[in-house]
A = this chain, B = another copy of it.
Amino acid sequence: MKFYDCSTAPSPRRVRIFIAEKGLDIPVQQVDLRNGEQLSATFRALNADCAVPVLQLDDGRMLSEVVAICQYLEEVSPDPRLMGVDAAERATVLMWNAKIEQQGLSATADAFRNSAKGFKDRALTGPHNYAQIPQLAERGMQRAVHFSQRLDELFASNAYVIGKAISIADISAFLFVEFASRLKAIDLDDFENLRRWHESVGERPAFQR
């Protein structure tokens, strides 16, 4: 296998942490997003959506999208389990991961890509250019606050997103909180439970990746 990564981007970092939690050692190739390598013909042949992460399988097949790559790694290297131990728990992990992507990570991406000067006409990843929409950046900041409230309520009773076990959903939520904090969309001191969970998972060695 080969893992196409970019050490400065949030999406591939989710897979990097997942790989580290599993204790796997997969050869890495860095993709230079800052200089547009993801838009090159060579990279488009790997992923027509011009985005990392990508996992190349031993038979040459290419997997993109974080949840898909992690699902594959979970099946070929089951321990430790990071996507649930039975049918209901596996579904619960996918449910929370989807909510975190749609309500959390898409909000921070909207806030960042629709306001950062370097992302003019690059409001979305992919081969097509789209103009920045300032109102969408503002909405992203508001949504990040609302979703932080939702997570804060969850962590009032849960040690981890799905309850007592860490999962890919915690990795996704951690990246959301990191991004929302860096954008100053939220101040973690306003969310006591979320801050406690963030400190706890952030101390794990895999989360230093």
B68–A95 contact, CB under 8 A? yes
Ranked 5 nearest A-B pairs via Cβ: A68-B95, A72-B91, A75-B87, A65-B98, A68-B94
Nearest residue in B to A59 (C-beta to C-beta)? Answer: B88
Is A45 an interface residue when CB atoms closer than 8 A count as contact? no
A133–B136 contact, CB under 8 A? yes
A71–B88 contact, CB under 8 A? no
Nearest residue in B to A76 (C-beta to C-beta)? Answer: B87
B76–A92 contact, CB under 8 A? no
Give every chain B residue within 8 A of A63 (Cβ-Cβ). Answer: 88, 91-92, 95
Give a binary string over A120-159; 1 marks a CB under 8 Å from any B CB, 0 the rest. 0000101010110101100100110010001000000000
Interface of A is mostly: helix
Is A61 an interface residue when CB atoms closer than 8 A count as contact? yes
B87–A68 contact, CB under 8 A? no
Give every chain B residue within 8 A of A103 (Cβ-Cβ). Answer: 49, 126
Give every chain B residue within 8 A of A41 (Cβ-Cβ). Answer: none
B65–A94 contact, CB under 8 A? yes
Is A64 an interface residue when CB atoms closer than 8 A count as contact? yes
CB distance from A84 to the nearest CB of B (A): 9
B130–A133 contact, CB under 8 A? no
Give every chain B residue within 8 A of A183 (Cβ-Cβ). Answer: none
Is A2 an interface residue when CB atoms closer than 8 A count as contact? no
Given A72-B88, A99-B65, verify A139-B128 contact (CB < 8 Å).
no
Given contacts A65-B94, A75-B90, list 5 more A-B pairs with CB under 8 A.
A59-B88, A61-B88, A65-B95, A68-B92, A133-B133
Contact of A67 among B64, B75, B98, B146 (CB under 8 A): B98
